[in-house]
Amino acid sequence: MIIRVFGMGCKKCTETYENVKKALEELEINAEIKKIMDLNEISEWVLMTPAVSFDDDIIFEGKVPSILEVKKELEMYLKR
């Protein structure tokens, strides 16, 4: 699984990255996390940051998801 966190490095984007990282640790999921900070690449995926994708699916866009929200989405995504 590849998880991408999209953002230019602002406070909200950094918080999103940390929440995703913590959720993965708490669920003991081994996934690759990529910070996508290049504006051209971000614009190919989403319109608003922060944003998070699991593999090629955009899960969150334009908001900072809580650790609990990330965990819930990860659990549902992995059950598919």
Of the residues 1, 2, 8, 10, which is catalytic?
10
Check: CB of residue 57 under 8 Å from CB of residue 28: no
Dihedral sign for Cα atoms in the order 80, 33, 43, 10: positive
Locus of tokens 């989403």: 46
Of the residues 3, 5, 13, 74, which is catalytic?
13
- Active site annotation includes 10: yes
User: Which tokens sit at 27?
Assistant: 């669920």
- Active site annotation includes 74: no
| Residues with a known catalytic role | 10, 13
